[in-house]
Structure 1
């Protein structure tokens, strides 16, 4: 059901395989999204895009009228003036009484974003609004149900900027909170945002054996969907089994966005989704270079100003960048780079490696690029995979990131980049076809 996002009806109801109704709320975009406003000389043109939050506010919060609402968000849930959903909704509730906020649920890094990777802010009272903020990081589906009950909510609103990668945990907070909402018979509203790495899917499929908190269900590594489209996919493909029913889902869509736009192409404010995702450039490479979390001998750039763009370690040198540049990978070049992380792997230790420089975002395949990097890095004596002693049956973290043992075993066996990428072509094509009924924004 791909559609032109510029010419959408105000409301329509879509039934996905029976069960609860799913409604998609849309507004008409102003102007032609393929023709950005004329920029100032030397300034990159940016396309005007309205997010789901923008449309919710413009509509006077009518979609939530009379509801007792629970908010799932983090610092990215802002409108075009950087005003946060929770603050806007709190002011509306105070001034009009048109809705009630039962509580706020904070994911990894916390609602206000004060925690590092693998951390949260805990449960407490938000200083600005006085609202109760519940710690929902790593919450199971049963815990989500308990939190909903404690907050007494009838409607759940989700507004978080995703970055398009399977191992970014916000999309699994979306999934688990949807399952819990379906079980409790709650309504679920997603305020949609552009996918900053576009609408194309790449990479290998997650397999059931290797599901973890960084990949809970069978989707490919770069899913190529907005959170609204993902919610529709979850609702149609997974919730009938996992929750026993679909959730009553409503997606308030973006307008002015088409899926060949990257994060830097739009005027949607970029707020760091997490401390190590500072720019749209970070997001562009992350679905691939995030896999270097699975390599113990290489820093993925945490503790630098260019995380996931700077990759290196003490046992590497300029030959790595030379070999990668000789491969002529599409849309990317590699700068010989030296850096000293301030924390995380190799803190205060000089690392040698590469800076990933994307030269053409639309030609760039982040996962193919990262595979080529791994293939060449594996040739260095210093190279070593990360192993987890607490998981004897699945000790390699790279297997959990890539979805199976295949990537690691093929690299160890000396397979080429093309052989490795070709190994997942069929499952990627199958996933791409499977997701199409749930897409809201027209693909080419």
Structure 2
């Protein structure tokens, strides 16, 4: 039983921790600011996704060609997130996020005027590159400014902002497109993101625990090499990429499925389908409670089960069945993403911005691949082809998680054997009894 002095010293250490936590000054402002940033990122990044049938019709291109208006943005983000995270080590997380949002919003307001599919894809790629400064910097900011026990919940709120942004952006574009055309829909998202960017800048407190790094290429290379040599981080990167492959494939193609028979839904109603993202808001915000109850692997297994069940249910030929499947897919994806992304920030002892950047790179490469491959699979085998692609990715998540569980058990048994060996040697040296050593 701890002594009174031990309890006092523990309390003093907790009180001396000036990082943010629920109930402490600045925590609510930080949460709201990053919620707004997450909303803006997903609203801009996927601003054309709900409009792909209209984009196909406007430019006279196929679904797979139109899908590049999404894949180019997510792919550019994946490629640029690491170098921009390195700049955040030198100039600060807050400055990087502010600059990234400003550039992305400006491009978002230019996008509706794209005269051709090629120019639209190019603008979207530049916009995705600009947005790359937000995700990794946001997670690094939280890892530095928020206490470890509150980190999953804080990142969950950022991810919840992603889900709200993805939902509201698609709903706004859907109805605006139905009333005034797809270009008006994209413009509406740009204006909404501008409001979020201003709110973010006004709300986010200055960093108190940020220490500028050198930002040299050699230092960056060493940090990246160390992260890529960590088996746990590699597994988390793979999980993020595979989860996002499912999500990107489903939500890129779903508009094409719902506009066809037997559903034949108008664009505004298809945009409203993305209200299902609200489920992701709750599941990502609840990720901390899931981890506390089930552990990180248990929470991932639950997320995988929900996603796989949703994919199978979405094969139904009724709108109710499809919507129920989307609910499960969305809940499983956002819960799994919140658990995996927070585990990256918790695992990395140094270079957190680079660790988060590598996760974001894998995550958005999964989105880019899922969007393009999902459209190809849809052309080849209809919705069943897209579902098959998603199930293969889900099986990949299961395999990676099971392997991680196996490795953890092997390492634990090895540690127990090593402790037993050391304890046995110490007892043998003390008693002179070899039988104790064998025990």
Q: Larger Rg: 1 or 2?
A: 2
Name the structure where strand makes up a greater proportion of residues: 1
Q: TM bucket by the smaller chain?
A: under 0.3
TM-score, normalised relative to structure 2: 0.26
TM-score, normalised relative to structure 1: 0.26
Query: Which is bigger in relative contact order (C-alpha 8 A, separation at least 6)?
Result: 2
